[in-house]
């Protein structure tokens, strides 16, 4: 990971999900028998629902930056 250019303090990056394996299984299960296009739509809806739940623009911006950071290399 490169140095984050956004304030990462707002975003929880330590483990925060009580049963990580259970969650991961459910997340993958969510996409069972969906086409790629349907999966993309479900993911987009999930992001929007979670983003609204979080609400805090600093947290959202930090999460967006973290998600993109090592995809496009050094930002």
Partner 1 sequence: MKTYTNPTYEYRRAPELDGPTRHCQVVIVGAGPVGLVAAIDLAQRGIPVLVLDDDDTVSVGSRAICYSKRTLEILDRLGCGEPIARKGVGWNIGKVYQGRELAYQFEVLPESGHHRPAFVNLQQYYFEECLVQRALELPSLEIRWRHEVSGVVPDADRVTLRVTTSDGDYALTCDWLLVCDGARSPVRHMLGLDFEGQVFRDRFLIADIHMTSDFPAERRFWFDPPFHPNQSVLLHRQPDDVWRVDFQLGWDADPELEKQPARILPRLRAMLGPDAKFEIEWASVYTFQCRRMQKFRHGRLLFAGDSAHLVSPFGARGANSGVQDADNLVWKLELVLRGHAPECLLDSYDSERVAAADENIQNSTRATDFITPKSAVSRTFRDAVLSLARCYPFARKLVNSGRLSVPKVLSQSPLNTPDGATFDGSMVPGAVAADAPVSGPRGDWLLDHLGGGFDLLVFGDVVDTVRAAELARGPIACRVVQVGGIERHDRIVVDDHAGLVAARYDGKPGSCYLFRPDQHVCARWRAFAVDAVHAAIARATGQ
- Footprint of partner 1 (CB under 8 A): 37, 40-41, 44-45, 47-49, 52
Phi-psi region of 6 (alpha: psi -120 to 50; beta: other; left: phi over 0): beta
Only one residue has tokens 């349907």, namely 38
Is 68 in contact with 62 (CB distance < 8 Å)?
A: no
Using CA atoms of 31, 21, 14, 12 in order, give the dihedral in degrees to the nearest 10: 30
The nearer residue to partner 1, 9 or 44, going by C-beta atoms, is 44
Shortest Å distance, C-beta 52 to partner 1: 4
The nearer residue to partner 1, 12 or 45, going by C-beta atoms, is 45
Shortest Å distance, C-beta 21 to partner 1: 27
The nearer residue to partner 1, 30 or 49, going by C-beta atoms, is 49
Shortest Å distance, C-beta 43 to partner 1: 8
């Amino acid at each position: 990971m490169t140095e984050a250019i956004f304030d990462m303090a707002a975003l929880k990056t330590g483990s925060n999900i009580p049963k990580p394996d259970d969650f991961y299984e459910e997340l993958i299960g969510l996409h069972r028998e969906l086409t790629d296009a349907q999966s993309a739509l479900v993911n987009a809806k999930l992001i929007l629902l979670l983003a609204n739940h979080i609400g805090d623009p600093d947290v959202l911006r930090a999460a967006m930056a973290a998600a993109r950071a090592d995809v496009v290399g050094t930002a």
